[in-house]
Amino acid sequence: MRPPENPSPLAGEGGPRSGSDEGSRTSSTSTDTTPPHLFDPSSVGLRPTPSPARGEGGLSRRLILTSGLALAACSREPALGQPVAEPPLKSLAPFRIGTAVRAAELTEPAYGDLASRHFSQLTAEWEMKMEYVVQPDGSFRFDRADAIAGFAQRHGLRLFGHTLVWYANEPEGFVKLDETRQSFEGALRNYITAMVSRYRGLAVGWDVVNEPVMENGEGLRESLWTRKLGQTGHFRVAFEAAKAADPDAVLFVNDYHLESRPAKLATYMRLIEQLLKDGVPLGGIGCQTHCWSELAPGAITATLRALASFGLPIHLSEMDVSVVQGGAFANRAEAERRQARLYAEAIEAFAALPERQQFAFTVWGLRDRDSWLKRENASDTPLLFDDAGRPKAAFTAVADALRR
């Protein structure tokens, strides 16, 4: 099983491990600083915190400035690499091309330059997940998510929200919810409303439910969310709340190993079919594409074609290619050649989709040293840029495929 992608918190920081369009809402002059909460504010006498006031282009100037301060507060050592001479990937791609980031890395000038030079969309790797946002008392923490959103806006990048409901996240605030004061469904709706409305107008889409299919493909996962709201009932609640909070955002279900496990792909497709039949406002399909270098050629292409049969936008949402996990190739050079070919195949298969279905192509991390796979195995090199931020053969393969 692929473990959660999230690391430990930064040294010295506490907490768990871890908007609207211009003119649609006016800023409040309320002095209430009570944070948003799982409890319905009206049921406990609390007033919700106003959403950040929007200026032209989305988030407020105040949020942008405070985001910069938040990033500076969690700064790490400078990156090793120098700016690369290759043309920006986003200048070659006719669709959005994205990467996953964490707030701390965005304080490194070289990292920030590399991310903003090559990518047009950012996904928060883990700092928009419940395990970071939802505090034990049920209040919400947005500091790092705001920092990432602020960086995106300052650099003219799109933001993608990841993720609202994930089986692996069961925050204490939800587990110990006092349901005599607030229903579980009401608490989930409050949470999703707070998250999605906060980044309305900047976040172009959301992973609403993440990784719902069992590892072996034999059915759907059990979780706190399914126990409380039903196997598909939690989809209805989550998607309806997200749709109400931002009608313009594209709402996704998202899962992994679809290209390597036919049973999992089949179950995923049956789930999508059922959700659409039930009228759940599903707007797009996420295919994570975490791969091993020995994945058979053509597997990614076949998977994207199958998912595209629904006619919905496709997000190739979390691509990386491990050169050590499968263990089939003793020859590292051959594994890296296969890695480059898989990246090229993925880009070509995505580009072959109808234009209206090309939501975005996202790589799950920037430099090798930032990857969750690197944290599992220090010898792995799964991304487009090496530890120092230099482009690799995989980068060249992607760039060449985009030029074709």
What is the DSSP annotation of 140-184? B--HHHHHHHHHHHHTT-EEEEEEEEETT---HHHHT--TTTS-H
Task: Give the residue carrying structure tokens 């006031």.
Answer: 53
* Distance between CA atoms of residues 79 and 367, nearest Å: 10
* Distance between CA atoms of residues 180 and 269, nearest Å: 38
Q: Which two tokens stand for residue 118?
A: 């090559």
Torsion of CA 268, 271, 275, 277, to 10 degrees: 120
Other Cβ atoms less than 10 A from the Cβ of 327: the count is: 10
CB 163 within 8 A of CB 134: no
Task: Quote the DSSP letter at residue 31.
Answer: -
The yes/no answer on whether domain 41-403 falls in CATH 3.20.20.80 is yes
* Distance between CA atoms of residues 200 and 197, nearest Å: 5
From 125, 318, 336, 345, the catalytic residue: 318
CB 110 within 8 A of CB 79: yes
* Distance between CA atoms of residues 111 and 75, nearest Å: 12
pLDDT at 86: 82
Task: Give the residue carrying structure tokens 């986003």.
Answer: 90
CB 272 within 8 A of CB 317: no
Q: Which pLDDT tens digits describe the chain residue by residue (404 residues)?
A: 444 444 332 222 333 223 333 333 323 333 344 557 777 443 332 223 333 333 333 455 444 444 444 444 443 333 344 444 688 999 999 999 999 999 999 999 999 999 999 999 999 999 999 999 999 999 999 999 999 999 999 999 999 999 999 999 999 999 999 999 999 999 999 999 999 999 999 999 999 999 999 999 999 999 999 999 999 899 999 999 999 999 999 999 999 999 999 999 999 999 999 999 999 999 999 999 999 999 999 999 999 999 999 999 999 999 999 999 765 555 889 999 999 999 999 999 999 999 999 999 999 999 999 999 999 999 999 999 999 999 999 999 999 999 98
* Distance between CA atoms of residues 16 and 388, nearest Å: 30
Judge whether 259 counts as a catalytic residue: no
Other Cβ atoms less than 10 A from the Cβ of 29: the count is: 6
Q: Which two tokens stand for residue 312?
A: 């919905």
Q: Which of 170, 166, 104 has the alpha carbon at shortest distance from 134?
A: 170
- Give kind and range of the element (H or E) at residue 242: helix 233-245
* Distance between CA atoms of residues 344 and 336, nearest Å: 12
Q: Which of 237, 262, 249 has the alpha carbon at shortest distance from 204?
A: 249
pLDDT at 331: 85
* Distance between CA atoms of residues 163 and 143, nearest Å: 16
* Distance between CA atoms of residues 141 and 128, nearest Å: 9
CB 48 within 8 A of CB 36: yes
pLDDT at 59: 52
From 211, 259, 294, 345, the catalytic residue: 211
pLDDT at 327: 59
Domain ranges for the chain: 41-403
Q: What is the identity of the amino acid at 393?
A: A
Q: What is the identity of the amino acid at 49?
A: T
This prediction's pTM: 0.83
What is the DSSP annotation of 57-85? TBS-HHHHHHHHHHHHHT--PPPS-----
What is the DSSP annotation of 316-369? EEEEEEESSSS---S-HHHHHHHHHHHHHHHHHHHHTS-GGGEEEEEES-SBGG
pLDDT at 124: 97
CB 148 within 8 A of CB 157: no
* Distance between CA atoms of residues 300 and 293, nearest Å: 12
Judge whether 211 counts as a catalytic residue: yes
* Distance between CA atoms of residues 217 and 255, nearest Å: 11
**52 in helix, strand or coil?**
coil
Q: Which two tokens stand for residue 231?
A: 């196997």
Task: Give the residue carrying structure tokens 């946002």.
Answer: 133
Q: What is the identity of the amino acid at 169?
A: N
Task: Quote the DSSP letter at residue 293.
Answer: T
CB contact set of 208 (below 8 Å; sequence gap of 6+): 163, 164, 165, 192, 235, 238, 239, 242, 251, 252, 253
* Distance between CA atoms of residues 288 and 111, nearest Å: 23
